[in-house]
Structure 1
Amino acid sequence: MAERLVTGDDAPGFTLKDASGKDVSLSPGSGRNTVVYFYPAAATPGCTKEACDFRDSLASLQSAGYDVVGISPDPVAKLAKFAAAEELTFPLLSDEDHAVAEAYGAWGEKKNYGKTYQGLIRSTIVVDPDGKVALAQYNVRATGHVAKLRRDLKLDA
C-alpha cells in the first residue's frame, strides 16, 4: 500500500490527460491552492454525487482561491462522457495506471462484500500554492464530503 501524505509533505507533481485528451499538470509552486480529489469510477452513484457537489461548489471554492481537479483510473473517453452528462466544469484526469493515485497514497487495499482487493481509495488532498500538502483526507464519504471539506478549510458554507 502506498504511503499516505500528511500536512507539510511535498505534493507529488504530475501530468495527466483530461477528458478532452489535453495534458493537465500540477507542479510545485503553481501559485494556487488545488483540491485534488480521487474517486473510484466515473458515472457510478457515489462518484456522480461527489462530482456534482464539487461542481455546485466550484464558484465559491474558486473565489476562495481553490482550484479543483478530479482523478480516477477511468480512460479519457469515459471521463468525457461523464463530464458532458453531469455538466462538470473542472478538469477530470485519467490515471489509468494509477501511478498518481499511488504517489498520493490513494491506491491500496480495499474491502467490499467480504472481498479484499487493490483499488482507488476515495481521497482528497489540498495542495497549497507552494506545492505542500495543506490537508489530506482518506476514505472520505462521497455524500457530504464537499461540505465537510469546506468546514475543514474554514470556508463559508
Structure 2
Amino acid sequence: MAKADKDGIIRDRRTGIVLARKDRHPLADLFKDIPMGDGLPGLHMGLPEVEHLMAIHVFDNLGCSPPQEPLYKAVPDRESLTATGSDRVLWVPVATPDPVPVEEADEQIFVADISDYNADQMAALEFQMQQKKIADKMLEQADPHVRGEGEL
C-alpha cells in the first residue's frame, strides 16, 4: 500500500521506498544524454520517464547526494531537434562559456538551398551530416599517428 506525502512523493508504507512522485524529479535532467566522449552523441534514455525513474532510484532510494562541484554542465544542443526530433543536451566543462543565442551571432553562414528536398533526401542528408560529425570527433580524439600528425 502506498500513500502520497504532502510534498507529492509516493512511498511504500512498509518499506519507505519511493515509488513515484507527483511531479518530475528535480534532478532527472542529470540523466539526460549522458556524455560518451567529447562531441559524440550522448547516451539518450529515450523517454523523460526513464530519466525521472533513474533520479528516484539514485537520489531518493539509494540516498546519493546531488553533485556538489560538478565538472560538466548541460547546454542545449541546437541541432538536436532537427537531427533527432527531440530536444537534447551536450555536456561541456563548467568553464565553457554559454552558447551565444542564434540571433546574436555576428557571422552569417551560407549553405546549399535544400528547400526542394523531399523527405528521403532530407533523411539522407541528416544521416550523412551526423556520420561526418561522429567521424570528425573520433579522428579529433585519436592518437596523433592515426590523425597523420606523427610517426609510430
- TM tier, shorter chain? under 0.3
Structure with higher RCO (Cα < 8 A, 6+ apart): 1
Normalised by the length of structure 2, the TM-score is 0.22
Normalised by the length of structure 1, the TM-score is 0.21
Higher helix share: 2
Higher strand share: 1
